[in-house]
Structure 1
Amino acid sequence: MSNKLNIEKLVLKLLHYYICLPSEHIPSLQSRLVEDLQAGDDLLDFILEIQSQLNLKIPISSWEKVRTVQDIIDLVKQYTNKCS
């Protein structure tokens, strides 16, 4: 499986866990974190966990620009590519 699919799968899995989405709710890549998924303070735990699992350090200023699930995937891919 490609790295892109692994990142997407990990992001969706962690979003389900940290944002407490019902198991039948599968967010689309265009889902907005706050408006559609009702994410709040739980995003901080999500950010810490995804960075920990992928051994990344992404600046807070980069996370502040994230609005959708796709934004998360793109940001993580960007930093994963920088580290490889």
Structure 2
Amino acid sequence: VLTLAFLLDGSHVDDDMIYFAMNMHWEDHIFEIPALPSEMLWHVFVNTSANAWQHIHPPGQEPVLDNQQFINIGARSVVVLVGR
């Protein structure tokens, strides 16, 4: 399976957390999302498997991710989540 995910933790400098998940496989895959502190939620900044008009959201206007534990990432797609 060709997947890669990593977290950039900005909490030590009072900044957002950013989670990158890449699915290079030709099938969809479900990724487990790292837990955030209780006062924070994951927001979708980039999702290249979404409809064209929803691929990227302007900073500060990212929708809250419905499921805060898992995300289904489409084939050959990238998702960037922002935790704040």
- Structure number with higher helix proportion: 1
> Could you say whether these structures have the same fold, taking a TM-score greater than 0.5 normalized by the shorter chain as the test?
no
- Structure number with higher strand proportion: 2
Alignment TM-score, normalising by the size of structure 1: 0.31
Alignment TM-score, normalising by the size of structure 2: 0.31
